[in-house]
Every structure is written in structure tokens, then in C-alpha cells.
Structure 1
Amino acid sequence: MVTLTPIAQNSTPREHTYLQPSVFWSIRQGFPKRLSLLIVTLALAVPLLAWAIVSYAGLVPPMFLPTPTAVLQAGMTMFAENNLLVDVLASSGRVLAGFLVAALIGVPMGIAMGTFYSMDSLFAPIVGTVRYMPVTAFVPLIIIWLGLGEASKVLIIMLGVVLYNAIMIADAVKFIPNDMINVAYTLGGSRRDVLLQVIIPAAFPSVLDTLRVNISGAWNFLVIAELVAAQSGLGFKIIQAQRFLQTDKVLFCIILIGLIGLVIDYGLKSLSQKLTPWADQTRH
């Protein structure tokens, strides 16, 4: 027989502990814009300051780490004398073409995989296997299939991104609550209605975020794509400068790609917030 021990009459109630307010460590409770701007400035200034100290002090030979001034001068020379703007436009066009093809294939595939078990069974083994295969291993085959023209470069960029688009969007669709789908069925919606009016609108913010994240992958595969007999492009300039140990030009092209990617990232983030005002505005 189990006996219950009575609560002592003199027992004191549990003391309540209150969360101490914090500005720096607050969890999704807002953050002062001035402090955010200060942190961003420090995050960019500290590495630049370290680079300047090491390079200007001569702690590293200029061939391995040129000074920021030398890198900037090399970039100005490339724009003025080597038509670097043409290379920027060429690389941007290749990235845009490859990324658009990857989006046109990957987005519908991801929505289908996340919505229908049949499509998940069909595509998941292919996506799960091929995405572990290095794109560089396909370069010889791509050259044989498509030659040395622009199509081969676009295909390399597309292959580097398309499967990640599909699998990330499929996961986003699978996280849509079943209650939303069941309510649509209860209100008389057909499968087509559920797909077009429930699943796609609910997944749309995640689709935009996926594309924003994966466009960085397209730029990462740019140098690989421009190894294929390219005569222009930022990747081509990097490879050309590397052959002659022109580290200042290599660094400038790398920084330029980073700046272009940063502009694209903020542009897509702003577009996402305008097109999906109902979604979480704290996305990064």
C-alpha cells in the first residue's frame, strides 16, 4: 500500500526567478540598430586592420600578401587597362544563366518531392546520390557533350546548385503543418487547390530564402566553369593572374566577387521581405 506524505505546513513556496534583461544576448527580442551597425563595422574593420598591419609591416612577403593599397591599385589598373568590367559582366551573365536554369529545375522538383510521397520516392535516391558527386569530376564529360562554349560553363554552374535547391525546398515543404492541408480538404479543396493555394504560398518564403542562400554556390562554381577554355570572366582573370604570381590581382578579383555577392544577397533579402510580408522578418 502506497502512503502519501502530507505537505509540510511550514513549506515555503518556490521562489520565482525573473529573466534579467539583456540587450546583447536577447533572443529574438529586437536589437538596437546603432549597436548592430557598430558590430558590423567592427566585423569588417578588424580583419582589414590585421591585414594592413601584417602587410605594411613587411611581416609577409608581398608576393604572398600584398598591401591593401597595392590590391586597390591593381584593381584600378585592371578596370582602366584590362577591361575588367567586361569580365564582371561575362561572369555575372554565366552565373545568372546557370542559376536560373537551376531554379527552374530545382524549385518544381523540390515542391514535388515535399508534397507527394511518390515523387519523393522517385527523386530522392537520385538527388541523395548525385549531390555527393563532385561537379569537377563531370567537367571532362561536359566538355565532350557540349564542347567549350558557354553552354558547358552554364551547365557546370547549374549542376553545382540545382540539387541543393531541390532538397532544401523539399524539406521546407515537408515542414508545412498537416493541419493547414486538412483544413483545406475540410473546406472542399481538391488536391490542385491544396497545392496551388496552400502548399506553394506557405513554402514561397522558404523558396526565396533557399535561392538567396544557394546563389552563393553558383558564384563558388564560377571559377571551375571558367576553367573550360574561357577568354573572359573574373574566374579567368584569377587563373590568369595566378599563373604569373600576381597576388594583388587575385585578391582584388576575389574581393570583387564577394562584394557582388553581398549586393545580390541584400537585394534578394529585400525582395523577399517585400514579396512575403507575412513571413518572419528576422531572416538572415
Structure 2
Amino acid sequence: MQTTTAMKSNVEASASASAPAIAARRRRPIAPLEPVSNRARWVLGIGFFVLFIALWAVATLGGFVKPTFLASPVTMVKEGWLLFTEYNFIHDIGMTVWRVFGGFVLAAVVAVPLGIAMGAWKPVEAFFEPFVSFCRYLPASAFIPLLILWAGIGEAQKLLVIFIGSVFQIILMVAVIVGGARKDLVEAAYTLGANSSGIVKRVLIPGAAPGIAETLRLVLGWAWTYVIVAELIGSSSGIGHMITDSQALLNTGQIIFGIIVIGVIGLVSDFAFKALNRRLFAWSTI
């Protein structure tokens, strides 16, 4: 009976102690590391775009910025409609998307296995890491003159620009993720009789898979920046080609529309990647 009474008093004491903390949390709508609901996240995210467009409209429609330097939202929408109806802009979008995903897939096919090998086996890391780190700092655009000499101005050159811009980043990031595996899991697998290849297949790769998927999602965003560089030179199609032509005509409406289209496609692909990662790795916290 005394034990029950003591337990009740302890529960009441802990509840009374936590009550002020809960009340204080309710009084703080914004607090460090405090999560927000999905509805609030959507409202805040959309709210920023609304505010941005409103400021843009005030600056351009109010006459504060000349149309030569910055088109208004209304002009941008009109120019975008003109691109789709008269200039077959959908073809340019399709070509750019193909180049991004083509170069990115090539980079992932090469980089992920090499990154896993570097993370799992330290001699492999010691052999490749200095060269990969050196290449990681080289801008992909610097290779364009050489790539034009080697591959011409066709699709191969554009795919290679995206490949070079993505592959070294993926290699190092995957190697870091795989190399950061929990040592206790590896030791437990050895205790259970696993060999080296079994450790990689059954411990390192499954444990690193969510992180690798997240790395690919991030690097895909970088690939979109390289495709515009690839399309600025020697290209007859693509969003970058359209932006270059519009710049020659001082058509800022079409330039802005092309930039926004890239952002929208990138955002959609990012959400799709996130959804796929959550579905494949529902047990992960990433």
C-alpha cells in the first residue's frame, strides 16, 4: 500500500513538474528546434513565394525598375505563354530534362560503387581519395573547351559536363557515409561468422543506403546548375539555349520564365526523390 502511494506521489510530482514546461512551450509559437505541422509548413512556404511575387510586382509595375532590366510578373507570364505556343518550348524542356538525368545517372552508376569501395576498404580510399578530392574542386565549365574537342558539340559533350560536375561529389559523399558505419554492427557480424564481402553486402550497404539516396537527391540539384552551362555553348535546343537567345534580344521576361521553369522542375524532382526515399527507407530518420 505504501509502495502504491509512493508511486502515485512520484507520478503526480513529475506531472506537476512537467506542466510548467508544457505551458511554457505552448506560449512559445517559435522556439529552437521546435517542429511545425505540415499545414504550417505549407502555409509558410507558399507565403514566401506570395511575398516575393508581391515585391517583384511592386518594383516593376510601380516603375521602380525599368522593363529592360527586369520584366514584370505579368510580362513574364505572357512571354512564357508565347514560348509554349509559338516557339515549341516544351521541346527545349524535354531536352534539358533528358540531359540532366542522363548525365546524372551516368555519374551515379560510376560514383556509387566506387564510393562504397572507398568507404569500405581503406587502401582503396588511400589510392583514389587524393585524385577525387583534387578533381572535386575543378569547375565543370573549365572542361567545356576540351570536351568540345573530344566529343564535339552534340549530346555527348553536354552529358559529360553534367557527369564531371556530379561524379566526384557523389564519390566522396558516399565514401564518407559508408565509412561512418557503426563499428559495433561490423564486429557483431564478424562474431556471427560473416566474411569481408558479407560485411559490405549485409551491413555497410544496407546501413548506408538511406544516406546514399539522400546524397543523390542533393547532387541532382547541383546537376541542374551544370546543364545550363553545358547548353550555353554550341547548343541548338534546351532551356539554356533559349535563355541565351533571349539575352541577345534583351527579353528579360523569357529569361526569367526559363529560370523559373528550371526551379519548378527541380522542385518537383526533389519532392519525388524525397517521396521515393521515404517509401524505400521508411525505417530511416533521414
Counterpart of 1:264 (choices 259, 266, 269) is 269
- 1:40 aligns with 45
Asked whether the equivalents of residues 75 and 252 of structure 1 are also in contact (C-alpha less than 8 Å), the reply is: yes
> What SS does structure 1 have at the residue aligned with 2:68?
coil
1:180 is aligned to 185
Tell me which residue corresponds to 1:154. Answer: 159
Distance in 2, matches of 1:30 and 1:68, equals: 34
1:87-236 counterparts in 2 under 5 A? 87-236=92-241
CA distance in 2, matches of 1:32, 1:225: 40
Deviations 1:177-219 (A, max 9, x none): 1111111111101111110111111111011101111111111
Q: Which amino acid aligns with 1:73?
A: K
CA distance in 1, matches of 2:31, 2:275: 25
Q: 1:78 aligned to 2:97?
A: no
CA shift, 1:228, in A, is 3.3
What is the match of residue 11 of structure 2? none
On the 8 A contact 1:102/1:161 being kept in 2, the answer is: yes
The answer to whether the Cα contact below 8 Å between 1:153 and 1:228 also exists between their aligned partners in 2 is no
Query: Quick one: which of 265, 276, 283 aligns to 1:278?
Result: 283
1:242 to 2:247 alignment: yes
| 2:30 aligned residue | 24
Aligned to 2:118, the other structure's residue is in SS state helix
SS in 1 for 2:115: helix
Deviates more, 1:67-76 or 1:227-236: 227-236
Secondary structure, counterpart of 2:270 in structure 1: helix
The answer as to whether partners of 1:23 and 1:31 remain within 8 angstroms in 2 is no
Q: Does 1:52 align with 2:27?
A: no
Match of 2:67 among 46, 55, 62: 62
Q: Is the 8 A contact 1:161 1:214 kept in 2?
A: yes
Maintained 8 Å contact 1:95/1:222: yes
Runs ≥4 in structure 1, deviation > 6 angstroms? none
The TM-score normalised by the length of structure 2 is 0.89
- What's the offset of the Cα at 1:137? 1.5
Displacement of 1:109: 1.4
**Secondary structure in structure 2 of the residue aligned to 1:221:** helix
Task: With the length of structure 1 as denominator, give the TM-score of the two structures.
Answer: 0.90
Give the distance between the partners of 1:70 and 1:269, measured in 2 at CA: 34
**In structure 1, the residue corresponding to 2:31 is in which secondary structure?**
coil
The gaps in structure 1 that reach 5 residues or longer are: 1-15
CA shift digits 1:205-255 (9 cap, x unpaired): 011101111111111011111123111000110111111111100000000
What letter matches 2:186 in structure 1?
I
Structure 2: runs of 5+ lacking an equivalent = 1-16
Larger helix percent: 2
